[in-house]
Amino acid sequence: MRAKNMIGRAVGNLSLILATMLGCSSEPGQEGPEPRHPFGTHAGYWSEGVIFPSNPSRAELDEAVGAFYREWKRRYFVSGCAAGQAYIKAQTSSGAWIVSEGQGYGMLVAALMAGYEPDAKSMFDQLYRYYVAHPSVINGNLMSWAQDGSCKNIDSLGSASATDGDVDAAYGLLLADAQWGSDGEIDYLGEARRIMGAILASEVQPANTVLFGDWVTDSSHPNWDATRSSDFITAEFKAFAEAAGEARWNAVVDKAYAMVEYLQAVFAPQTGLLPDFIVDVSGAAPRPAPPNYLEGENDGRYSYNACRTPWRLATDFLVSGDARSRAAIRQLNAWVRDATGGDPQAITSGYDLDGTALNSDVEAGFIAPFMVAAMVEPESGTNQPWLDALWDEVASRPAEEYYSDSVKLLCMLVTSGNWWTP
């Protein structure tokens, strides 16, 4: 039986008290069934080697999350396109106004904020209705990747899927089932299983490597032998294995960690940094992608995709105690803490795998994932001052743009103890 950290577990009316303090109404029955895991419950983390920010109280951590959530919702949650639908306004530089990644993020946030956000279930359902209303042209059980301001697919690639959005959407549905049950208009558990099956069928190689999307159709495709490190969403894959009764998900986890271990040892022994994209994944020697492999000159560096890996991998240790996650994160922690001299503002927006900064930009989307990683204690000493500094920096930064703000909010949810496994 897994050891769990129950420190700070809230009971009774805590979520209602918090909502009142922070300016939200949470009256029972306002939007249907009350959530079974309301925001502020703080339960389900591994008991050994996990720390939380120490300067604020747990209630103050939640208050900071709630404050930023309200700003995030105001900026990015949009009801529209069709009756009963909503989307997360991404408005990316590529011309996409809406992306499946954002829908996945939004579904996670809505399910996790239930008990603070009185309309969480309605928001979740609207986001999911948009998801299913925009199916991929390749596997209709997945979402097409990108739409414009008129909710139309932006191009042929935008009509196919992107794996991370589908993974988060499926996990969001598992959270929704755990929060509200599946007896209502949407069978959350049934829909989650449908998407999980489609991900395995169309977004995972037979050798269990995660693909970019269902548009990488078979071994003749030029991107078949490649993957994206930020798609190693191992904590969610483990939940899929249990919910679907499908052991293959555990093989997907094993393959991801084998690549992480090899890449850190061979290409980033001093830093532990992972590249945005990885090639030659079918063999025993995966390597960083060359420049301009898929998106740009930084494809083989720690850039706007890989910046999420400290958050994704650390979350697995926080909820499962996986030693592979801890080893990978400890290496990242040791490097970034030393390289920055303990100053979060010295974390820049991208690095070569040897730790050379690519620029001097400072963005929450690069800082916040290291905050989650800092929750994993090192073998000796403590990350506490580093974690406290990271929280103070992340929580005090003003809103930036969709991507950084969404990553920041999800990382704040994890760091405050408000992530959980369904």
Task: Show which residues are catalytic.
Answer: 101, 164
Rg of the chain's alpha carbons, rounded to an integer? 20
Count of alpha carbons within 13 Å of 307, Cβ hemisphere only?
23
Dist. CA 391–CA 52, nearest whole Å: 9
Contact 126, 114 (CB under 8 A): no
DSSP-assigned letter for residue 308 = G
Dist. CA 149–CA 124, nearest whole Å: 21
Closest by CA to 254, choosing from 317, 208, 223, is 208
Vertex 350: Cα angle to 281 and 376 (nearest 5): 75
Dist. CA 69–CA 226, nearest whole Å: 35
Contact 24, 117 (CB under 8 A): yes
Residue 369's Cα: distance from chain center in Å?
A: 10
Token pair, residue 84, equals 């009963």
Rounded to 5 degrees, what are φ and ψ at 358? -85, -20
| DSSP per-residue codes, 123-144 | HHHHHHHHHHHSB-SS-TTSB-
Burial 328-367 (b: 16+ CB within 10 A, else e): bbbbbbbbbbebbeeebeebbbbbbbebeeeeeeebbbbb
DSSP-assigned letter for residue 116 = T
Rounded to 5 degrees, what are φ and ψ at 253? -60, -45
Token pair, residue 91, equals 């408005």
Burial 67-78 (b: 16+ CB within 10 A, else e): ebbbebbeebbb
Token pair, residue 56, equals 């604020």
